[in-house]
Structure 1
Amino acid sequence: NNVSKTGKHNVRIETVFSKIKDRVDDFRGLKALWSAPILMQGIIIQHNWIEAHTTTGRIPAELAGMKVEAGENRWLGMIRKSSMTL
């Protein structure tokens, strides 16, 4: 049993790998290798900034103490915030 060897951290990485696998299955027609890093960045943003964690109901960035005010459509809110000047 790998969980007994690695502890609770294994569950976290397995969750991420499962999420990546689910998303990659959707991209069967992906032909260009250059687009893979772009898609991975989208998956990372989705995981850390957009999607609430299944057990806590909170976004990982919020759990880390980051203030996230992106509105109801979180992707659109993040895009709008990224284009704002400081």
Structure 2
Amino acid sequence: DPLQPISDQQMAEALTAMAWTIVKLTTLHRTVKPELLTHPNTPVTAEAAELGSADTTPDNLYMIGSFALESDQTLLLEFVPPDTR
């Protein structure tokens, strides 16, 4: 099927969801783990209970961190994902 134009309501809902997500994710360090700002470049593992049940799924495991890189540095994360259910 060819793409169909979206309605003003659909566009408004999509923009609202996007704006909420941007604000939430860019300010997450203030509410969830502010200590990550004083220890950059060291990701930590956190279970859902540590992060608050309002924004998590109970059986999720999160790897989060803040990063401070020089202009000539590259961020490379290598990891082995945990077993899944």
TM-score by length of 1: 0.31
Q: Choose between structure 1 and 2 for higher RCO, CA contacts under 8 A separated by at least 6 residues.
A: 2
Q: Which has the higher strand share?
A: 2
Q: Which has the higher helix share?
A: 1
TM-score by length of 2: 0.31
